[in-house]
């Protein structure tokens, strides 16, 4: 039995030694308020964050972005640290950042946590609603010492949006079906930022409240929705005309839906409407052009 | 000299309603060769399991070396009793010598390695059972008979005063059947091992054993020397089959007779009607 | 291998194995998507405040990952050895008694309940996974005993039933969860190496090595048990005690491995076989060598997963499945005829 006693004793000593050596070092938490002076090497972990940083005039301070950051064009030239979904933590560290800006969903939250534990400054921001976008611009402005630019950016966007709302009016909302995927058919529900953009553009979602944010739907629901306009955002901006023709072919089987009947199916550039960023107004305007083409006839 | 195995009023049943063994008593002196014979289902293997502590009696006691079987720890009992089972299934490819070495497990040092003494014991056992020739081959590559000899070697390497065997000659050819019995007898005579062997072969057993336990159905048992226990009437009653009794010198032998048995007029014997 | 195992042979083989492991770990720590210069790393030791990404990457990202991979690989391989010995089944692996589905269920419950507190600096997923794993083993043990004392078949059946039921629960919860949580859970279930605190690594390593030692202590008993319970008992093995220690320790180190890195498959199944085929079935040797080779296997697999589709990362469980599956098939075909117990 004594060999078991030895084992037990050695284990206790090991555990004790572990806590003695490493227990102190655990508290590495920097608090989430970031000093503006530290933001001279910034890594952005999402395309919309990159856009915000560029819009605030921080182009020189950005040292790395994700593979998907394609706007503004200067961003595409920056060093890359992996994709939006799977960032490469080694590349982040190699970029020697003083500030890492991430979004708030699980994957990126974990990454921010890991970086904080190693000792890096991270700013985690949720941008899932339009109001959160304005907050985000504000926070990033504060963190990087660009409050003035941030305020200007926010008020600029809000002014343009108000102008658009005045133009399209608040009555006669156009029923819109926002199709993100054709096979299987998947649409944007009411709990999304796309929905907010639609409403800002003077429309309303043809689909009622759903459990999922981007639910797959069946033919029944398409017909019951009575959509007046169908919008498909496209991730390949080349040749939108050809894509629109193809869309008409595919939707032909729903000839009883007003949108199909009236040939109001639009394929638009997905870039500005797939991310919630400083080009919000451009996105909402592109939607409004589909809903009320007569207002933009100039 | 006191008995090394004492069985007193032993009763056992797998369920309380059906008793396989009822009120069995016998004693085995050290250095005896005991053969246990009887028809299928009479409880021979059950008795063996009880003797080595795998099962507990419902009533009565079994004493090994004057202490009840229950009082021994598994390790202590393994130093008194070694068992050769009817069927041992090797799952992984242990070699012959590794298998036999496992018998020395109760004697290992604290870190679980064998000593010189253990190795010698194993070498002797391999020699005695004529298995040294394929010591390094995996167990699964041997024939059933060779495997059986390996398990007997293992039990011998365990170096215990008592050796229990459950039908040890089942898969062996004639030469090896006799060889095994010779081996067991030698162990008995030279080292003084007590051998208890459950067997179906009453003739071979009769040649070698000193004592016999003939276990019939309903625990109708006879204990005594082979001469006393094995008689044509006993065998017919216990096994329910007619036998032909023959004699070679002073030794009697019995051959069961079925419906289609050939004409049985042979030298020096009278058929049993 | 021919010849008998002696203490000296075992010591030599274990030492060589450890040297090989350390070498592999050192080499793999220099492999990655970023170039790390060893000189910069050495310069960076002890320097506080200076920005030294080579040092940071090496010490804070790569080393913890590699240590974690070694710990998890060793734990799963040894656990696999024990499960195969106890269940007397060459196709057993550490997850057969419900640990995988129990841990997965614990993890997904943690994810869905959206708890925010941390335990030892980590999310509650690890803790819940650990509790789920241990709890499930206890449940399977309890159910198995209902069928009779330590009946192996009863244990196996209970394990299958519990695994099936919990897997169904996991599917149901996955359906009900929000999409982000689902992604997080599935990612966890595929097995991944995330850098840990040194404290967590230290404790984990200690537990796993202690577990391996405990199993080594009962290795002769495991040898005897390979022949069946009757044989083992007649050779002086206290089968009840051996079963409890073996299952308990194997479950414990597997639960630790799973809670640290998610479900990594194939290590516990393939490594014991490979080692057994080369070195023989003696558990006194099988246990330490499987642990070492399991560690090497997982370190290499993780390194592979890090670089093959860079900058993305293949979860290590995917790599082990891709490598382990065909490897197992090759083993089966090549040695199936030679090895007796596969007949």
Residues 6 or more apart in contact with residue C343 via CB below 8 angstroms? B140
So what's the pLDDT on residue C337? 59
Question: Cβ distance A69 to A275 under 8 Å?
Answer: no
> In terms of residues, how long is chain C?
343
Q: Judging by beta carbons within 10 Å of its beta carbon (0-12, 13-18, 19+), is residue A112 exposed, middle or buried?
A: buried
The model scores a pTM over 0.90:
no
Structure tokens given for A195:
């929905």
Q: Residue A102: beta bridge partners?
A: A124
Over residues B20-26, mean pLDDT: 89
Candidate ranges B42-56, B243-257, C303-317; pick with highest mean pLDDT: B42-56
Q: Name the more confident of C174 and C66.
A: C66
How far apart are alpha carbons C148 and C141 in whole angstroms?
11
Q: Is the peptide bond before A184 cis (omega within 30 degrees of 0)?
A: yes
Domains of chain C plus CATH, in order, are: 7-342 (1.10.3470.10)
A/C interface, count of CB pairs below 8 Å: 100
How far apart are alpha carbons B61 and B68 in whole angstroms?
7
**B1-80+160-240: in CATH 3.30.390.50:** no
Question: Cβ distance C84 to C268 under 8 Å?
Answer: no
Residue among B8, B12, B30 nearest B20 (CA): B12
- State pLDDT tens for residues A158-209: 999 999 888 887 778 889 999 988 888 889 989 889 999 998 888 999 988 8
pLDDT band at A298 (very low <50, low <70, confident <90, very high): low
pLDDT at position C83 over 50: yes
Strand, helix or coil at B95?
strand
Residues 6 or more apart in contact with residue B173 via CB below 8 angstroms? B145
**Least Cα separation, residue B71 to chain C (angstroms):** 14
| Average pLDDT, rounded, for chain A | 86
How far apart are alpha carbons A94 and A101 in whole angstroms?
16
How far apart are alpha carbons A143 and A33 in whole angstroms?
8
pLDDT band at C48 (very low <50, low <70, confident <90, very high): low
How far apart are alpha carbons B246 and B272 in whole angstroms?
10
Structure tokens given for C123:
């999310």
**DSSP track, C214-252:** HHHHTHHHHHHHTT-HHHHHHTT--HHHHHHHHHHHHHH
Question: Cβ distance C305 to C320 under 8 Å?
Answer: no
How far apart are alpha carbons C272 and A182 in whole angstroms?
48
So what's the pLDDT on residue C342? 46
Residue with tokens 């537990």, as numbered in its chain: C207
Domains of chain A plus CATH, in order, are: 36-156 (3.40.50.1980), 169-296 (3.40.50.1980)
Instruction: Give 3-state DSSP helix, strand, coil % of chain C, rounded to 5.
Output: 75, 0, 25
Which positions in chain B touch C220 (Cβ < 8 Å)?
A: 102, 105, 108, 112
pLDDT at position C291 over 90: yes
Residue B28, CA atoms < 13 Å, CB-side half-sphere: 30
pLDDT band at C329 (very low <50, low <70, confident <90, very high): confident
Percent of chain C with pLDDT over 90: 37
pLDDT band at B164 (very low <50, low <70, confident <90, very high): very high
Check residue C60 and report its DSSP letter. Answer: I
Tell me which chain C residue has its CA closest to the CA of residue B75. C236
How far apart are alpha carbons C126 and A268 in whole angstroms?
44
Neighbours of C322 (CB within 10 A): 15
Residue among C168, C159, C128 nearest C255 (CA): C128
Residue among A164, A49, A162 nearest A101 (CA): A49
So what's the pLDDT on residue C336? 62
Percent of chain A with pLDDT over 90: 25
- Chain C residues near any Cβ of chain A (below 8 Å): 32-34, 51, 53, 56-57, 60-62, 120-121, 123, 179-181, 183-184, 187, 194-195, 197-199, 202-203, 206-207, 210, 213-214, 217, 310-313
- State pLDDT tens for residues B58-80: 989 999 998 999 999 999 999 99
**Residue C228 region, left (φ>0) first, then alpha (ψ -120 to 50), else beta?**
left
pLDDT at position A274 over 50: yes
pLDDT at position A264 over 70: yes
pLDDT at position A79 over 80: yes
Over residues C92-97, mean pLDDT: 86
| Average pLDDT, rounded, for chain B | 86
How far apart are alpha carbons B50 and C310 in whole angstroms?
66
How far apart are alpha carbons A59 and A42 in whole angstroms?
9
Q: Which of C33, C120, C312 sits opposite A90 (nearest CB)?
A: C33
Q: Name the more confident of C105 and C126.
A: C105
End-to-end CA distance of chain A: 93
So what's the pLDDT on residue C117? 61
So what's the pLDDT on residue C81? 95
Domain spans in chain B, listed from the N-terminal domain onward: 1-80+160-240, 94-158, 243-273
| Average pLDDT, rounded, for chain C | 85
So what's the pLDDT on residue C343? 42
**Least Cα separation, residue A245 to chain C (angstroms):** 33
Question: Cβ distance C286 to C341 under 8 Å?
Answer: no
CB contact under 8 A, B78 and C236: yes
**DSSP track, B21-45:** EEEEEEEE-TT-EEEEE--TTSSHH
Question: Cβ distance A157 to A135 under 8 Å?
Answer: no
Q: Which of C231, C239, C281 sits opposite B93 (nearest CB)?
A: C281
Over residues B125-143, mean pLDDT: 87
Which positions in chain C touch A67 (Cβ < 8 Å)?
A: 311
Strand, helix or coil at A43?
strand
Question: Cβ distance B184 to B197 under 8 Å?
Answer: yes
Which positions in chain A touch C310 (Cβ < 8 Å)?
A: 88
Question: Cβ distance B103 to B148 under 8 Å?
Answer: no
pLDDT at position A32 over 50: no
Question: Cβ distance B70 to B53 under 8 Å?
Answer: yes
**Residue C282 region, left (φ>0) first, then alpha (ψ -120 to 50), else beta?**
beta
């Amino acid at each position: 039995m004594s060999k078991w006693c030895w084992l037990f004793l050695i284990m206790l000593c090991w555990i004790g030694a572990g806590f003695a050596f490493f227990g102190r070092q655990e508290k590495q938490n920097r608090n989430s308020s970031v000093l503006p002076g530290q933001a001279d090497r910034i890594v952005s972990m999402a395309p919309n964050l990159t856009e915000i940083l560029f819009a605030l005039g921080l182009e020189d301070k950005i040292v790395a972005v994700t593979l998907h950051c394609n706007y503004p064009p200067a961003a595409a030239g920056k060093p890359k640290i992996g994709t939006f979904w799977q960032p490469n933590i080694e590349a982040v560290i190699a970029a020697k950042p003083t500030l890492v800006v991430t979004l708030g969903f699980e994957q990126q939250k974990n990454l921010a946590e890991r970086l904080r534990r190693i000792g890096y400054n991270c700013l985690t921001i949720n941008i899932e609603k339009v109001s959160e976008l304005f907050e985000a611009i504000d926070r990033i402005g504060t963190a990087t010492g660009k409050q003035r630019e941030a305020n200007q950016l926010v008020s600029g966007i809000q002014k343009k949006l108000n102008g658009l709302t005045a133009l399209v009016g608040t009555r006669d909302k156009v029923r819109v079906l926002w199709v993100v995927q054709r096979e299987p058919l998947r649409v944007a529900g009411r709990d999304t930022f796309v929905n907010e953009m639609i409403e800002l553009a003077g429309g309303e979602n043809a689909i009622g409240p759903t459990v999922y944010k981007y639910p797959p739907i069946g033919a029944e629901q398409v017909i019951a929705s009575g959509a007046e306009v169908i919008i498909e955002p496209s991730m390949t901006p080349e040749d939108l005309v050809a894509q629109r023709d193809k869309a008409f072919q595919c939707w032909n089987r729903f000839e009883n839906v007003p949108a199909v009947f009236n040939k109001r199916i639009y394929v638009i550039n997905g870039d500005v409407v797939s991310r919630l960023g400083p080009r919000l107004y451009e996105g909402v305007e592109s939607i409004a052009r589909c809903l009320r083409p007569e207002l933009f006839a100039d | 000299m006191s008995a090394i195995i004492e069985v007193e009023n032993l009763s056992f049943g797998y369920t309380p309603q059906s008793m396989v063994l009822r009120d069995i008593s016998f004693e085995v002196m050290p250095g005896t060769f005991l053969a246990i014979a009887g028809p299928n289902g009479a409880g021979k293997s059950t008795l063996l399991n009880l003797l080595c502590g795998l099962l507990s009696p419902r009533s009565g006691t079994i004493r090994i070396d004057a202490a009840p079987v229950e009082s021994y720890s598994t390790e202590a009992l393994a130093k008194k009793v070694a068992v050769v089972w009817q069927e041992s299934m090797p799952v992984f490819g242990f070699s012959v010598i590794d298998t036999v070495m496992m018998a020395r497990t109760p004697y290992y040092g604290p870190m679980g390695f064998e000593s010189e003494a253990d190795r010698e014991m194993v070498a002797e056992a391999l020699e005695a059972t004529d298995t040294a020739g394929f010591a390094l081959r995996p167990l699964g590559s041997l024939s059933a008979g060779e495997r059986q000899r390996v398990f007997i070697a293992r039990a011998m390497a365990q170096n215990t005063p008592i050796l229990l065997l459950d039908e040890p000659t089942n898969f062996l050819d004639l030469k090896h059947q006799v060889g095994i019995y010779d081996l067991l007898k030698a162990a008995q005579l030279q080292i003084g091992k007590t051998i208890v062997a459950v067997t179906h072969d009453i003739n071979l057993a009769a040649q070698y054993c000193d004592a016999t336990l003939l276990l019939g159905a309903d625990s109708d048992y006879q204990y005594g020397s082979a001469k006393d226990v094995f008689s044509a009437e006993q065998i017919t009653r216990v096994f329910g089959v007619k036998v032909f009794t023959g004699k070679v010198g002073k030794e009697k032998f019995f051959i069961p007779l079925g419906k289609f048995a050939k004409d049985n007029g042979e030298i020096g014997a009278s058929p049993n009607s | 291998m021919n010849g008998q195992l002696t203490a000296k042979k075992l010591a030599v083989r274990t030492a060589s194995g450890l040297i090989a492991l350390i070498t592999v770990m050192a080499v793999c720590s220099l492999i990655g998507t970023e170039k790390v210069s060893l000189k910069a790393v050495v310069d960076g030791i002890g320097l506080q405040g200076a920005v030294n990404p080579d040092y940071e990457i090496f010490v804070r990202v790569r080393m913890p990952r590699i240590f974690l991979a070694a710990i998890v690989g060793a734990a799963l391989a040894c656990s696999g050895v024990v499960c195969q010995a106890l269940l007397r089944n060459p196709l057993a692996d550490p997850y057969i008694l419900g640990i995988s589905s129990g841990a997965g269920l614990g993890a997904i419950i943690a994810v869905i309940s959206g708890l925010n507190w941390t335990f030892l600096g980590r999310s509650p997923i690890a803790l819940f996974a650990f509790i789920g794993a241990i709890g499930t083993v206890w449940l399977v043990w309890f159910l198995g005993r209902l069928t009779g004392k330590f009946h192996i078949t009863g244990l196996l059946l209970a394990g299958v039933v519990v695994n099936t039921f919990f897997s169904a629960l996991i599917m149901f919860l996955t359906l009900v969860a929000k999409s982000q949580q689902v992604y997080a859970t599935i990612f966890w279930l595929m097995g991944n190496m995330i850098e840990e605190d040194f404290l967590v690594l230290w404790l984990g390593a200690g537990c796993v090595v202690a577990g391996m030692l405990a199993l080594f202590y009962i290795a002769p008993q495991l040898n005897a048990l390979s022949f069946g319970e009757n044989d083992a008992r007649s050779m002086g093995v206290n089968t009840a005690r051996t079963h409890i220690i073996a299952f308990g320790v194997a479950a414990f180190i597997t639960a630790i491995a799973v809670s640290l890195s998610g479900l990594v498959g194939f290590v516990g199944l393939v490594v014991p076989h490979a080692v057994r085929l080369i070195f023989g079935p003696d558990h006194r040797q099988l246990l330490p060598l499987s642990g070492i080779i399991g560690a090497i296997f997982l370190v290499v697999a993780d390194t592979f997963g890090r670089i093959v589709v860079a900058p993305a990362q293949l979860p290590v469980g995917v790599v082990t499945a891709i490598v382990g599956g065909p490897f197992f098939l090759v083993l089966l075909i090549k040695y199936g005829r030679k090895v007796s117990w596969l007949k």
